[in-house]
């Protein structure tokens, strides 16, 4: 059996073709979308879990070294890892929120796969992370279908990382491929996510059209200019219909991060000063909430930075604010702050005002945010997204007949209005914001694996 597999930055989903139509499969209870999160007792537990409880062996000698170190580290900490210690999706988030200090939690590992400068050990660990998530999803899918699933078309963005170019894309795709093989998939193909979304939209077309797909996902924005319609459906070679692609690592997560930085970090000391009148360093407020940046997280949560934060607190004109920032460090609250920003973003889609609340130790920090403040906060990532829209049209040298917007953040009226202004007089349509990529991947799997 084959599936389309959307290994997303914010959520993962899979679809199988049943009775001739792509059908999403439940992955967490009755939910078709499982948050891209992992929670474990320790960092080392991820690698040991694969080997001890799933009988999934490392793919190379570096992986073997990572596994040996993981087992030794857990043994030294007297951690007896049981299968239920690993949690995924909403269950992982709930476990993390119970006590952030007591677990190892990762959100959106896909964001890191194309990062520059990763060492072999880091690449091997990311492969273990992805493999554990894929193995869980494969198991849940097989429970639903009561069939072994051996073939998958996996979605990928146009570009995994902003600066790495094709080398970064190769690195990320290689991690995904090896992880999928270890998780038990035998035949694996990749397809661009916006092309997959276009394939799902194409199934509704009665005549040929030039379609600009704008896919604003959690981690990336991807655009594809495509010739689509009845005369293309079912073809295994779509090369001539692929007119242009553009993509960058800027997506819904970035909207949340920028909103968190601009509107949530003042109570933690942003824009405050030292007793001598010097501004507090911006990086101390950016790094904890830059959850898609490996180096930023590493720098903020380093032992050396804890000493730097204590010194800032000692010199601060408003030390109570820096006390909160110290709690962010001690309780690893960066994910929680960004989560509250995401809730505010969603709430402001339907309301002019939103009251957010962040738990900091025993204190509840409340923040009032207006739509105007959000628009100002997300201007930088929004502008990058619109440039990608323009780039795809310019590359393709052809005006679209229609714009198909998909991805969770494509629901934002702010972003839709920005696209309308950038490409006037072209109708904008949407389907299933969250499921169109997955359904299109299943359609492409049907084409690839039925041959």
User: Mind listing the domains of the chain with CATH numbers?
Assistant: 2-185 (3.30.420), 207-251+379-430 (3.30.420.40), 253-375 (no CATH)
Which bin fits 269, alpha (ψ -120 to 50), beta or left (φ > 0)?
Answer: left
Distance between CA atoms of 204 and 429, rounded to whole angstroms? 12
What is the rounded average pLDDT of the residues 161-176? 87
Please count the CA atoms within 13 angstroms of the CA of 330 that sit on its side-chain side: 11
Q: How far apart are CA 227 and CA 238, in angstroms?
A: 9
The Cα 451–Cα 198 span in angstroms is 22
pLDDT tens for each residue of 406-421 = 999 999 999 999 999 9
pLDDT at 329: 96
287 vs 96, 204, 339, CA distance in Å? 20, 44, 15
Determine the pLDDT at residue 159: 94
Question: Interhelix angle for 61-76 vs 45-54, to 10°?
Answer: 100
Q: How far is the C-alpha of 405 from the C-alpha of 132, rounded, in Å? A: 31
290: confidence class by pLDDT, cuts 50, 70, 90: very high
Tens of pLDDT along 203-212?
Answer: 999 999 999 9
> Could you write out the three-class secondary structure of 329-390?
HHCCCHHHHHHHHHHHHHHCCCCCEEEEEEEECCEEEEEEEEHHHHHHHCHHHHHHHHHHHH
Which stretches within 146-183 are classed as H helix?
A: 165-183
Cβ-Cβ contacts under 8 Å for 264 (sequence gap 6 or more): 289, 337, 340, 341, 356, 358, 367
Average pLDDT over residues 232-249: 94
Identify any residues that bridge with 190 across adjacent strands, giving them in sequence order.
Answer: 154
292-342 pLDDT tens trace: 888 899 999 999 999 999 999 999 999 999 999 999 999 999 999 999 999
Three-class DSSP category at 181 = helix
- Given a cut of 70, whether residue 7 has pLDDT beyond it is yes
What would the DSSP string read from start to end of 182-219? HHT-SEEEEEEHHHHHHHHHHTT-SS-EEEEEEEE-SS
pLDDT value, residue 424: 97
The pLDDT of residue 169 is above 70: yes
Percent of the chain with pLDDT over 90: 92
CA distance 121 to 61: 10
Q: What is the pLDDT of residues 361-381, one digit of tens each?
A: 889 999 999 999 999 999 999
CB 201 within 8 A of CB 166: no
- What is the reported pLDDT for 451? 58
Degrees to nearest 5, angle at CA 402 with 397 and 408? 110
* Predicted pLDDT at 293: 87
Q: Which residue has the higher pLDDT, 215 or 116?
A: 215
Cβ atoms < 10 Å from Cβ of 99: 9
Q: Give the model's pLDDT for residue 117.
A: 87
Residue 153 has pLDDT above 70, yes or no: yes
Q: State the average pLDDT over residues 3-29.
A: 96
pLDDT in tens, 216-239: 999 999 999 999 999 999 899 999
Query: From CA 10, how far away is CA 150, in angstroms rounded?
Result: 25
Q: What is the pLDDT of residues 66-111, one digit of tens each?
A: 999 999 999 998 999 999 999 999 999 999 888 887 899 998 899 8
Q: In the chain, pLDDT over 70 holds for what percent of residues?
A: 99
Q: How many C-beta neighbours within 10 Å does residue 157 have?
A: 26
Tokens in use for 304? Answer: 């050396």
pLDDT for the residue numbered 101? 77
Cβ neighbours of residue 397 under 8 Å, at least 6 residues apart? 243
The pTM is what? 0.92
Distance of CA 332 to the CA centre of its chain: 19
Task: Give CA–CA dist 347/406, Å, rounded.
Answer: 19
C-alpha to C-alpha distance for 66 and 63, rounded to whole angstroms = 5
Model confidence at 39: pLDDT above 70? yes
Q: Rounded mean pLDDT of the chain?
A: 95
Tokens of residue 216, six digits: 């604003």
Does the pLDDT at position 163 exceed 70? no
Spatial separation of the C-alpha atoms in residues 112 and 294, rounded to whole Å:
7
Q: For the chain, what is the total number of helices (H) and then of strands (E)? A: 16, 16
Neighbours of 167 (CB within 10 A): 11
| pLDDT at residue number 14 | 98
């Amino acid at each position: 059996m084959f599936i389309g597999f959307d290994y997303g930055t914010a959520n993962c989903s899979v679809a199988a073709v049943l009775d001739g139509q792509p059908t999403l499969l439940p992955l967490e209870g009755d939910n078709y979308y499982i948050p891209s999160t992992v929670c474990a007792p320790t960092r080392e537990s991820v690698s040991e879990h694969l080997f001890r409880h799933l009988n999934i062996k490392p793919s190379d000698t570096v992986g073997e070294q990572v596994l040996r170190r993981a087992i030794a580290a857990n043994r030294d900490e007297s951690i007896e890892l049981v299968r239920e210690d690993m949690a995924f999706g909403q269950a992982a988030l709930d476990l993390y929120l119970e006590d952030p200090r007591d677990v190892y939690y990762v959100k959106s590992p896909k964001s890191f796969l194309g990062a520059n400068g990763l060492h072999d050990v880091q690449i091997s660990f990311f492969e273990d992370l992805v493999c554990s998530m894929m193995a869980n999803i494969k198991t849940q899918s097989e429970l639903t279908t009561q069939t072994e699933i051996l073939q998958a078309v996996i979605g990928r963005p146009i570009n995994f990382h902003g600066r790495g170019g094709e080398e970064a894309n190769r690195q990320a795709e290689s991690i995904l491929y090896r992880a999928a093989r270890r998780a038990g998939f035998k035949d694996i193909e990749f397809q661009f996510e916006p092309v997959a979304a276009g394939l799902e939209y194409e199934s509704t077309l009665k005549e040929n059209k030039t379609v600009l797909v704008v896919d604003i996902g959690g981690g990336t924005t991807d655009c594809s200019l495509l010739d689509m319609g009845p005369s293309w459906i079912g073809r295994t070679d779509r090369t001539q219909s692929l007119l242009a692609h553009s993509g960058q690592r800027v997506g819904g997560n970035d909207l949340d991060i920028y909103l968190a930085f601009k509107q949530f970090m003042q109570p933690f000391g942003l824009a405050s000063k030292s007793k001598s009148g010097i501004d507090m360093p911006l990086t101390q407020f950016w790094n904890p909430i830059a959850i898609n940046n490996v180096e930023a997280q590493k720098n903020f949560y380093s032992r050396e930075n804890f000493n730097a934060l204590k010194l800032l607190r000692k010199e601060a004109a408003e030390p109570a604010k820096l006390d909160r920032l110290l709690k962010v460090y001690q309780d690893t609250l960066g994910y929680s702050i960004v989560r509250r920003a995401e809730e505010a973003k969603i709430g402001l889609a339907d309301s002019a005002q939103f009251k957010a609340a962040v738990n900091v130790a025993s204190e509840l920090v409340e923040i009032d945010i207006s739509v105007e403040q959000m628009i100002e906060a997300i201007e930088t990532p929004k502008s990058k997204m619109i440039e990608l829209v323009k780039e795809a049209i310019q590359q393709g040298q052809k005006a679209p007949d229609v714009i198909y917007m998909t991805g969770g953040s494509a629901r934002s009226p702010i972003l839709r209005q920005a696209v309308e202004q950038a490409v006037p007089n072209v109708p904008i349509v949407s389907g299933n914001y969250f499921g169109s990529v997955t359904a299109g991947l299943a359609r492409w799997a049907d084409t690839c694996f039925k041959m």
